[in-house]
Chain A
Amino acid sequence: DQQVKQNSPSLSVQEGRISILNCDYTNSMFDYFLWYKKYPAEGPTFLISISSIKDKNEDGRFTVFLNKSAKHLSLHIVPSQPGDSAVYFCAASAGANSKLTFGKGITLSVRP
């Protein structure tokens, strides 16, 4: 039972354009959502998060949108840069200091 789903395995965008990465969840108890970026042979790097009391959080080129009624969140990267090419994981937790449930990840390729 996959509670966090990233249905698209890969995404390719042109440098300078917007990248939109999507994530869906099924567990209504989730109240905190995070995006991580991962390069091969490295650990996940925290990018941005959002609490369920908000619908948007922005940090530089990264913006996360949360639609609780649809149980959907998305990560927008604008403008996209070649260095953004990596695997992006969506994760969610229910309650403070609780385990993270991850999606399978999406591979983003930014073409120069």
Chain B
Amino acid sequence: NAGVMQNPRHLVRRRGQEARLRCSPMKGHSHVYWYRQLPEEGLKFMVYLQKENIIDESGMPKERFSAEFPKEGPSILRIQQVVRGDSAAYFCASSPRLAIDTDTQYFGPGTRLTVL
């Protein structure tokens, strides 16, 4: 059973460009979460999605950031007009729809975004 997949693993963008980060959850998982880790910090929640629905976006910056989890295909975290402060590691996690341990989230390897 493949784990959570994220690509690209590394992404370099210049200020003002767009960044698209992709996440494929574990097989059988229908809940996707995005987190961001700044240097020397813990992971910070950004957004929680189910298929075609945003459940909780309380951690998303109000501007430039958006996320989707379409019926088919991976979840996408999109950052428009990137700035240097967006440089961070972005992690995706997934959890099953129905399980005893519904709160256990399994993480992907992350995408390291560098904004020049």
Name A residues whose Cβ lies closer than 8 Å to a Cβ of B: 4, 32, 34, 36, 41-46, 49, 89, 91, 93, 96-105
The answer to whether A49 and B103 touch (CB under 8 A), given A89-B42, A99-B56, is yes
Would you give 28 A-B contacts (Cβ < 8 Å), ordered by A?
Answer: A32-B103, A34-B103, A34-B105, A42-B109, A42-B110, A43-B4, A43-B6, A43-B107, A44-B107, A45-B107, A46-B104, A49-B103, A93-B103, A96-B102, A97-B31, A97-B95, A98-B48, A98-B56, A99-B45, A99-B48, A99-B58, A99-B59, A100-B33, A100-B45, A100-B93, A100-B105, A102-B43, A103-B42
Residue from B41, B48, B104 within 8 A of A49 (CB atoms)? B104
Q: Which residues of B contact A41 (CB under 8 A)?
A: 110, 112
Tally B residues with Cβ within 8 Å of A. Answer: 30
19 further interface pairs, Cβ-Cβ under 8 Å (given A46-B105, A102-B43, A102-B44) = A41-B112, A42-B110, A43-B110, A44-B91, A44-B107, A89-B42, A91-B43, A93-B103, A97-B102, A97-B103, A99-B45, A99-B48, A99-B58, A100-B33, A100-B45, A100-B103, A101-B45, A103-B42, A104-B42
Name B residues whose Cβ lies closer than 8 Å to a Cβ of A: 4, 6, 31, 33, 35, 40-45, 48, 55-56, 58-59, 91, 93, 95, 101-110, 112
Using CB atoms, name the residue of chain A closest to B112.
A41
Minimum CB–CB distance from A44 to chain B (whole Å) comes to 5
